[in-house]
Amino acid sequence: MVVEKDFLNNLRHFFKLNLYEAKVWTALLSRGISTAGELAEISNVPRSRAYDVLESLEKKGFISLKTGKPIKYIAVQPKEVVERVKKFVHLEAATHAKKLDSSRGAEMVKGLDSLYKNGVQFVDVADLSTSVKGRGNLNMQIETMLKNAEKSVVLVTSAKGLARKSENFAPLLQELSKKGVDVKIAAPVTKESADAVKNLMSSAEIRHASRQESRFCVVDNKEVLFMLMNDAEIHPNYDAGVWVNSPFFAGAISNMFGVAWKEMEPADKALKKL
């Protein structure tokens, strides 16, 4: 049986399988029930490996075993496999999270943090910058910056970006507000962003940036993350930004933002005009 390479690669990615597992599983799905020898032949997997692969797939819940002579293997319905994999992923993540939260994990983090702090002493300020690719990674970088905020946060974004910020960071921004961190957000107040504005107004001072096209985040006038693309014209996977840890640069950005901020309309007034 010949299965397209791209299809096999997708299976491996989504279900965390190796190549032999993906080949044997698709072979069994095409037959419904089969022996190890038959599956080895139609999947082009060495017979010596077929039994190990089938045992692994059985443990993962992809197939079931029918005892008898010869032993046969039965394909589990793909929908059921998906549910089993989801449960396994959640369980694995929860177990790993517990390990990280354990006393042993805490000690390990302390050791790593010590290494990091000692290493940073030898890093030139000019080297404290990096590119960030993909919207998921950009959001994680913003989250890290917000968690470290002590005095101030500036978020400048698009209408769509504000909706994303509301969905991803509303609880965190609420915590910052309670801690006394000054949070300012500038974004177009439109019908698309209206719900986000209402959701974030208790956590931040928001103003309507009618001609806003840039996107950046400044924390404590020390570090900046600025996005390089227009989020309306780029796929999330290809979004990109640059993070810079430079009080000089961050301060300059904050000063320019402060001038523009004074001319922006408060969000509550902009909402009334919608």
Using the structure block, give the residue that is written with the tokens 């909402």. Answer: 271
Q: Is pLDDT above 60 for 74?
A: yes
Q: Which CATH architecture has domain 126-272?
A: 2-Layer Sandwich (3.30)
**Among the listed residues 8, 14, 77, 70, the one whose alpha carbon sits nearest the alpha carbon of residue 45:** 8
Q: Scan for tokens 């209408």, then name that residue.
A: 159
pLDDT at res. 196: 95
Q: Looking at the predicted structure, is the pLDDT value of residue 183 above 70?
A: yes
Check residues 119 and 154 and name the one with the higher pLDDT.
Answer: 154
Residue type, 27: A
Confidence of residue 118 (pLDDT cuts 50, 70, 90): low
Over residues 216-256, the pLDDT tens digits come to 999 999 999 999 999 888 899 999 999 998 888 899 999 99
Domain with residues 5-78, CATH architecture: Orthogonal Bundle (1.10)
Query: Taking a C-beta distance cutoff of 8 angstroms, is the pair 149, 176 a contact?
Result: yes
Quick one: pLDDT at residue 167?
94
* Alpha helix (H) residue ranges in the chain: 5-15, 19-31, 36-43, 47-59, 78-101, 103-120, 135-147, 159-178, 194-200, 247-262, 267-272
**Residue 172's pLDDT band (cuts 50, 70, 90):** very high
pLDDT tops 70 at residue 177: yes
What does the alpha-carbon distance between residue 128 and residue 243 come to, in Å, rounded to a whole number? 8
pLDDT higher at 170 or 116: 170
Looking at residue 212, its pLDDT comes to: 66
Q: Is the pLDDT of residue 85 over 90?
A: no
Q: Sorting pLDDT into bands at 50, 70 and 90, what band is 119?
A: low
Looking at residue 207, what is its pLDDT? 95
Map out the domains of the chain as residue ranges: 5-78, 126-272
Question: Can you tell me the mean pLDDT for 77-85?
Answer: 88
Tell me the per-residue pLDDT of 203-213, one tens digit each, with 9 for 90 and over: 999 999 987 67
If one compares 153 and 5, the residue with the highest pLDDT of the two is: 153
Query: Exposed (0-12), middle (13-18) or buried (19+): which is 93, by Cβ within 10 Å?
Result: exposed
**Alpha helices of 121-246 — where are they, by DSSP H?**
135-147, 159-178, 194-200
Q: Is 51 exposed, middle or buried (0-12, 13-18, 19+ CB in 10 A)?
A: middle
Q: Is 158 exposed, middle or buried (0-12, 13-18, 19+ CB in 10 A)?
A: buried
Neighbours of 272 (CB within 10 A): 8
pTM for the model stands at 0.60
Query: Measuring CA to CA, how many Å separate 141 from each of 37, 131, 179, 253?
Result: 50, 11, 21, 18
Measured distance CA(42)–CA(27) in Å, rounded: 7
User: Structure tokens of 89?
Assistant: 């992923």
Q: What rounded mean pLDDT belongs to the chain?
A: 87
Per-residue pLDDT, 128: 67
pLDDT at 125 over 70: no
Which of 35-39, 53-57, 93-97, 225-229 is predicted with the least confidence, judged by mean pLDDT? 93-97
Q: Please determine, for residue 187, whether its predicted confidence score (pLDDT) is greater than 90.
A: yes
So what's the pLDDT on residue 227? 94
